[in-house]
Amino acid sequence: MTLDLATSHDLLRALLPELVLTAAGMVVLLVTAWRHRTAADLRIVGWVTLAGLAAAAGAAWWLWWNTARATGAPAMIAVDDFRFVLDWVFLGIAGLTVLVSFAYLERERLLAPEYYVLLLFGTLGMMLMAGGDDLMVIFLGLELMSVSVYVLAGINRHSAPAAEAALKYFLLGAFASGFLLYGIALVYGATAATNLPQIGAQVRGLGLDRSPMLLAGLALLLVGFGFKVAAVPFHMWAPDVYDGSPTPVTGFMATAVKAAAFAALVRVLAEAFSAVAVWQTIVWWLAVATMVAGNLIALAQRTVKRMLAYSSIAHAGYLLVAVAAASDAGSAALVFYLIAYGLMTLAAFALLAAKGRDGERDVRIDDLAGLGQRRPWLAAALAICMLSLLGFPGTAGFIGKWYILVAATGAGRLPLAAILVLTSVVSAGYYLPVIMAMYMKPEPFEDAHAGMRLGRLGGAVVALSVAGLVLLGVLPNRLLDLAKASGPGLRAAPTVTAPGATPSAATAR
């Protein structure tokens, strides 16, 4: 299906998933205004939200199935498989988050159906970030997503840590957005364009790859995106915000928000700055700092939620390795790992939500002692999540890291690949103690885990996620083929070699 985005009819068809989700958000707003007083009202809004997410996923599938492609001059929205696959990722994570949230919101007495409205509009912002082919569209999507998540972080108005998390996220997020917007202004000043393909054409045609204004703009863009993906040294907000937010919101932020930021980053670098090789060096060092700092600081954590927060930072480093590879293989590995990471992290936070109370900030690793005997199925699910996060063979996490290593070594980033392996070994120091506590230590007291309940919908989410982790660990080829077909492809520039790259790799795709 060929779409001419210069015509309003085809433009509306290209934006069909976003339009469907916007309409769903309006409907949920109306339902929220009508029914917002009881737990039954909360469940109604949740089911309407799920219907809206499913409808938007169906619209994205329809465009993908009909091989929708854009013709004519570059437009502000991209029509490609990369966008459609990432749309499914965002909508899937949002749907799983809704299912986990049913029991959690009722248990914590958070009778705020606006929670689901914010999830919908946050997901809409993510879809605009992944599909935006213009810096302004990406910025608008990022702000829509960010404002929604700021409020979600502090949705529990009875929790002081949640209020602190929301305020800290808002202040630092606004500061980072300023960097991003100023970077867009500098890029526009250097190229007279905000459209990504047009920026790329200007850079190549006018030889702007060494323009001080363009390089300054690119640096500020990387700062803004580095904040959103929680890359070191722009990660300082993540542990406190993840720790203070309601646990389903933390899972949503650690997976969907991170995926949206990486999707936008990859598209910007691939389409606008493929001829500017200096970003490879910057991303190389960002990846190293993020992997090392995230894993080492996670070793010192004793609460499960904060450990998973620093683990999320470490995994951002692994994903940056795929970006630094600057190749089609790196793009495919990024998409595959985002899906695998989403499944294992969502399941881990869902299990944590079942264990704790009042935000789960006080659940220590030792508090899981004896879970294997008292709740064997829940312990097995959490153990598989920990092993997948570690990258143990037979899980999707292992396959994802393997593909990132293949991409990195294929691009000549051998030291970066070695650092990834070494830091993954270090991560065993905080993932394996969780498993040891569950299976090798007795319960701290009788009926210590008696109140641990997932609920039917939460149990279905965990079961589906764990099954996906095992299945992708054994049969990953179909998803990898989809990831290869969807990646926009990063081309390494031939003139600059990143640290640790072999000369031949600088000219490789």
Domain limits of the chain?
Answer: 278-509
The Cα 252–Cα 258 span in angstroms is: 9
The Cα 123–Cα 121 span in angstroms is: 5
DSSP state of 253: I
Q: What pLDDT score was predicted for residue 388? A: 94
pLDDT at 455 over 90: no
Q: How many CB atoms lie within 10 A of CB 210?
A: 10
Phi, psi of 398 (to 5 degrees): -65, -45
The Cα 266–Cα 86 span in angstroms is: 12
Report which residue type is found at 245: S
Q: What pLDDT score was predicted for residue 359? A: 56
pLDDT at 289 over 70: yes
Q: What pLDDT score was predicted for residue 487? A: 67
pLDDT at 495 over 90: no
**Residue 349: which of 361, 338, 339, 337 has the closest Cα?**
361
* Residue 366 banded pLDDT, cuts 50, 70, 90: confident
Q: What pLDDT score was predicted for residue 480? A: 87
Q: What pLDDT score was predicted for residue 96? A: 94
Q: pLDDT digit string (tens) for 293-335?
A: 999 999 998 889 899 999 999 999 999 999 998 888 888 999 9
* Residue 162 banded pLDDT, cuts 50, 70, 90: confident
**Rounded to the nearest 10 degrees, how much is the dihedral formed by the CA atoms of 480, 481, 483, 486?**
180
C-alpha 409: how far from chain center: 24
Residue 193 region by backbone torsions, left for phi larger than 0, else alpha for psi between -120 and 50, else beta:
beta
pLDDT at 126 over 80: yes
Q: Which long-range contacts (CB under 8 A, 24 or more apart) does 65-68 make?
A: 66/1, 67/1, 68/1, 68/2, 68/3, 68/13, 68/14
Q: pLDDT digit string (tens) for 186-207?
A: 999 999 999 998 999 999 888 8
pLDDT at 496 over 60: no
Q: What pLDDT score was predicted for residue 507? A: 33
* 370 Cβ neighbours under 8 A, 6+ residues apart: 438, 441, 442, 443, 444, 448, 449
Mean pLDDT of 260-288: 91
- Give me 85's structure tokens: 């696959």
pLDDT at 25 over 60: yes
**Residue 411: which of 327, 306, 496 has the closest Cα?**
327
Helix axes 114-131, 16-34, angle to 10 degrees: 170
Q: What pLDDT score was predicted for residue 488? A: 55
